[in-house]
Amino acid sequence: MESIKNIQEEIVDEFSMFEDWMQRYEYMIELGKSLPLIEEQYRVDENLIKGCQSKVWLHSKLDGNKVIFTADSDAIITKGIVAILIRSFSHQEPQAILDADTNFIDEIGLKEHLSPTRANGLVSMVKQIKMYALAYQAKLN
């Protein structure tokens, strides 16, 4: 698996091809549609991250020393960003996840979606990803 940094650079590269916000959003919507859905059994309240505007479900499991995340959202634009975050953080070791940041979201011009006041559940999702990583890290050591 590539490093988080490489993956994030790749994503930034992909987005740099687009000329305007419409194309960026269309791509994000595509990504949202192609995100493998979270398995139905995990799309439950326990895994729900409440945003006031859209909901996000996040499930994690440990596979060897890697954390696997699956996620979903009821809003497609949120789901597109969820897809990007999953691509960057899933199948990584806990320490790598803990060391990583989400600055690449600014670079691809989607900063407003990761604003704490946006109430779409994404900021809490990133926090939750880190929490899981921390828990698995403790478990592995």
Partner 1 sequence: MSHTNIDIKKIRKDFPILSRKVNGKPLVYLDNAATSQTPQQVIDVIVDYYQNYNANIHRGVHSLSQEATDAYEEAREKIRTHFNAKHKEEIIFTSGTTHGINLVANGFSNLLKKGDEVLVSALEHHSNIVPWQMLCEKSGAKLKVIPMTPQGELDKLAFAELFSENTKLVFVNHVSNALGTVNPIQEIIAKAREVGAAVLIDGAQAAPHIKADVQALDVDFYVVSAHKICGPTGVGVLYGKKEWLEKLPPYQGGGEMIDQVSFEKTTYAGLPHKFEAGTPNICGGIAFGAALDYMNAIGFEAIAEYEYELLKYATQQLLEIEGLKIYGTSADKTAVISFNIEGIHPYDIGTIVDKLGVAVRTGHHCAQPIMDYFKIPGTVRASFSFYNTKEEVDVLVESVKKAKMMLS
User: Mask of contacts with partner 1, 40-59, x by CB under 8 A?
Assistant: ------------xxxx----
Of the candidates 132, 85, 91, 130, the one whose C-alpha atom is nearest the C-alpha of residue 104 is 85
Contact positions with partner 1 (CB under 8 A) in 14-43: 21-22, 25-26, 29
Closer to partner 1 by Cβ: residue 60 or 120: 120
| Region at 65 (left for phi over 0; alpha for psi -120 to 50; beta for the rest) | alpha
Contact positions with partner 1 (CB under 8 A) in 75-134: 75-78, 119-120
Instruction: List, in sequence order, every residue forming a beta bridge with 59; answer none if it has no partner.
Output: 70
**Is the Cβ–Cβ distance between 38 and 59 less than 8 Å?**
yes
Write out the catalytic residue numbers.
52
Interacting residues toward partner 1 by CB under 8 A:
21-22, 25-26, 29, 52-55, 74-78, 119-120
